Amino acid sequence: DAGITQSPRHKVTETGTPVTLRCHQTENHRYMYWYRQDPGHGLRLIHYSYGVKDTDKGEVSDGYSVSRSKTEDFLLTLESATSSQTSVYFCAISENSGMSTGELFFGEGSRLTVL
């Protein structure tokens, strides 16, 4: 299995509080992604990173920010959590530098509940 660790795996928080989810990889892959998965929606890309300090928005980036200060760590921050951000969050990594994203390796997910 690819070395991807997400933390925390489960979190319950209240509306308006800040939340940070961490993704740590030991594969030295260049690309890292944050997705959310909700019933009735496919996986949706929040943000991704193509290198240290290089990030770009996905399709559902509003209310989220990311940072990547080291190759191995990609942080997802909800500055002020809302109930609509209750979801399962997945981190993924890939290395393919060609034309395609290539194979994504996913973490085990972080289940966030915002009350």
Stretch that binds other proteins, among 15-23, 60-68, 73-81, 94-102 (CB under 8 A): 94-102
Indicate whether 63 belongs to the interface with other proteins (CB under 8 A).
Answer: no
Least spacing, CB of residue 73 vs other proteins, in Å: 18
8 binds other proteins (CB under 8 A): no
Task: Verify binding: residue 43, other proteins, rule CB under 8 A.
Answer: yes
Q: Out of 66, 81, 92, 114, which residue is the one contacting other proteins (CB under 8 A)? A: 92
Give dist(CA 15, CA 41) in Å, integer: 23
Nearest distance in Å: CB 37, other proteins: 9
Please report the DSSP string for 70-86 in residue order: ETTEEEEEESS--GGG-
Using the minimum distance from each CB to other proteins, give the nearer residue, 37 or 84. Answer: 37
C-alpha 73/C-alpha 52 separation (Å) is 9
Q: How many CB atoms lie within 10 A of CB 32?
A: 25
- Reference 95, options 45, 34, 49, 46; nearest CA is 49
